[in-house]
């Protein structure tokens, strides 16, 4: 069903490259975006995830499917069975909160096929600027879980994997300096 979505494993050196700015998306890349949205949506619906043997995922960046271009896709379930889709071309974080948060159970990644323990400090709120698929400038304000997703996916564009941000000496944050969500 999702044969054209081949997610690179963390060992693949292409995940560590800095992606190129996008000037124009090909017809195939636009179709791939639609397929990724469907893939991510299905992966978050338990029955469909089981049927198609999908690991749950909220976002994918083009580098994860071996395309070194600055494109991220996030499918965010804001309410049971209701999703918002975000496709951002050449995304940049233009502002962020001072407050830091971390996912209580840690982060995961469709390119990392193992459990990685530790908290990843992220900004509680970010504003992302970029372009939609038609070249229109967009601004997205996000908070909490969605903010974490944007930062995670933008990291992929810069060759950074989430576990690079875990403090090796103190992987779990217990001192209250960062709010766990």
Establish whether 153 is a catalytic residue: yes
Confidence of residue 174 (pLDDT cuts 50, 70, 90): confident
- The pLDDT value given to residue 1: 77
Confidence of residue 175 (pLDDT cuts 50, 70, 90): confident
3-state helix, strand, coil in the chain (%, to 5): 30, 30, 45
Confidence of residue 39 (pLDDT cuts 50, 70, 90): very high
DSSP secondary-structure letter at 145?
Answer: H
Query: Contact at 8 Å (CB) between 90 and 98?
Result: no
Span 113-125, pLDDT tens digits: 999 999 999 999 9
13-180 under CATH 3.90.45.10, yes or no: yes
Confidence of residue 57 (pLDDT cuts 50, 70, 90): very high
Q: Percentage of residues in the chain with pLDDT exceeding 70?
A: 100
9 vs 15, 41, 110, 119, 138, CA distance in Å? 8, 21, 8, 21, 31
């Amino acid at each position: 069903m999702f044969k054209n979505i081949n997610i690179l494993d963390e060992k693949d050196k292409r995940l560590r490259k800095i992606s190129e700015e996008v000037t124009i998306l090909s017809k195939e890349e636009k179709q791939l975006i639609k397929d990724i949205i469907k893939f991510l949506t299905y992966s978050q619906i338990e029955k469909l995830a089981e049927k198609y043997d999908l690991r749950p995922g909220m976002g994918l960046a083009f580098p994860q499917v071996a395309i070194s271009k600055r494109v991220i896709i996030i499918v965010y379930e804001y309410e049971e069975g209701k999703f918002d889709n975000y496709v951002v071309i050449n995304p940049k974080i233009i502002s962020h909160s001072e407050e830091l948060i971390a996912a209580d159970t840690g982060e995961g990644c469709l390119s990392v096929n193992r459990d990685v323990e530790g908290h990843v400090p992220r900004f509680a709120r970010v504003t992302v600027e970029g372009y939609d698929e038609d070249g229109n400038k967009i601004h997205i304000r996000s908070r909490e879980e969605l903010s974490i997703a944007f930062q995670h996916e933008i990291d992929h564009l810069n060759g950074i994997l989430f576990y690079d941000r875990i403090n090796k000496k103190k992987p779990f944050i217990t001192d209250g300096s960062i709010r766990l969500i």
